[in-house]
Amino acid sequence: MNIAVGTNNKAKVSAVENCWTFGNVKSFQTESGVKDQPFGHEETMQGAINRAKYAAKSYEGAAGIGLEGGVAETANGLYICNWGALYVPGYKEPFTASGASIRLPEELAEPLRNGAELGPIMEQFSKQKNIRQNEGAVGFFTNGRISRARMFEHIVELLIGQWEYAKMH
């Protein structure tokens, strides 16, 4: 089965390409239907679901996958949060999964709480252009141990695994 990825972001597309062994992978720039900077798990998950749905509509007969990055408030500070959704033809509900989450330094958290976007803030902080397409905040703040692509690969595997489980039951 082929799959449509709801983004052209390199970190996200490469994660799907590395995990999807069932057919072709094509990427489509889709709307997330949520704010550019999703805040909280619910909104971030919804962004992933919307992207997956729109992507599937762009590629006849294919599955659709959406991967979305956001931030979530906790009693222990602001964390990055990441969600994925997979629509497979024949299944009414999407499979969903979340990924790695680490705390952001307070000096980044404050502007985010006031409505700023993580992408530009991370570019300034890391002095790296397009960090969101490469190692990402997760890579930067974990000394390069877990890149954004690798973090999304984990989510994609969780999605594929749930689909496989559903096929067997």
Site of interaction with ligand ITT (CB under 6 A): 7, 9, 12, 32, 36-37, 68-69, 80, 117-119, 122, 131-132, 136-138, 148
The least CB distance from residue 160 to ligand ITT, in Å, is: 19
The least CB distance from residue 20 to ligand ITT, in Å, is: 17
Other CB atoms within a 10 A radius of the CB of residue 79 amount to 17
- 3-state secondary structure (DSSP) of residue 83: strand
CA atoms within 13 A on the CB side of 121: 18
The least CB distance from residue 11 to ligand ITT, in Å, is: 7
* CB of 9 or CB of 96, closer to ligand ITT: 9
* CB of 92 or CB of 129, closer to ligand ITT: 129
Element (H, E) at 82: strand 77-87
The least CB distance from residue 135 to ligand ITT, in Å, is: 8
* CB of 16 or CB of 168, closer to ligand ITT: 16
Q: Find residue 37's DSSP bridge partners.
A: none
Other CB atoms within a 10 A radius of the CB of residue 163 amount to 17
Q: Find residue 73's DSSP bridge partners.
A: 78
